[in-house]
Amino acid sequence: MPRFAANLSMLFTEQDFLERFEAAAKAGFTGVEYLFPYDYAADEIKARLDANGLTQVLFNLPAGDWAGGERGIAILPERVEEFRAGVDQAIAYAKVLGNTQVNCLAGIAPKNADLGKLEITLIENLRYAAEKLEEAGVRLVMEMINTRDIPRFFLNNTSQALEIRDKVGHPNLFLQYDIYHMQIMEGDLARTMESNLAAINHVQLADNPGRNEPGTGEINYRFLFEHLDRIGYQGWVGCEYKPATTTEAGLGWMKAHNAI
């Protein structure tokens, strides 16, 4: 059975952020992920990880003005220096937290933008980040996100991501495969993950529709968990879903789907 990491940006949100680490450990999780660590001192987060025996699995590169609706800056030509500064910031946090992978959110394409120019900028930024992160012993993943939830999100399906990866041409760039997003955009989940296993370094989950916990929608998670074992997936599975009620009430899926 895969190793499951609690996404603290989505789970245990009834508590303050730093209190969620203990809650995740008490619920049986051994790893955690979240959007960003940058509002807190790295040492403060590290203390929470250590106190609760948790592995820091993943966080994102700085992604612009999140509260203002930005979802990444990697495609924006006018933000290259900001992107590069964000890579340095992520490396500094990763070294303290023991984090071995970070995710890049490409961003939302501005209306009427030159898509070719956006792609060139993304490729150059990913190449830069992959090299810098490799020097620090950290893997870079990039996430495909559905365009129903985030209209005009630039990187939105597996074939596009693989093409971008080929153009970047750096061995330290991998895919983050979010089952929820890819169910919406392309389906054929099991075959796609198996065919591209070597390129996938992180998986995330939520059911569809609703983006709630497994067992609330159409996705056969019992099959997919067994499938990930069968094909030899060695990474973490991040639980990035919105609890249908409370986090604790929704954790029954783990037992119901033989995840514990």
Residues with catalytic roles: 143, 240
The CA distances from residue 138 to 8, 118, 168, 201, in Å, are 21, 25, 17, 12
Beta strand 173-178 pairing with 55-60: unpaired
Q: Can you name the residues that pair with 143 across neighbouring β-strands?
A: 176
The CA distances from residue 119 to 2, 110, 122, 211, in Å, are 33, 13, 5, 29
Beta strand 200-205 pairing with 236-239: parallel
Helix orientation angle between 80-97 and 42-51, rounded to the nearest 10 degrees: 40
User: Phi/psi at 180 (nearest 5 deg)?
Assistant: -60, -55
Task: Say if residues 28 and 6 touch (Cβ distance below 8 Å).
Answer: no
Give the amino acid at 118: L
* Rounded Cα gap, residues 121 and 115, in angstroms: 10
**241 token code pair:** 């879903």
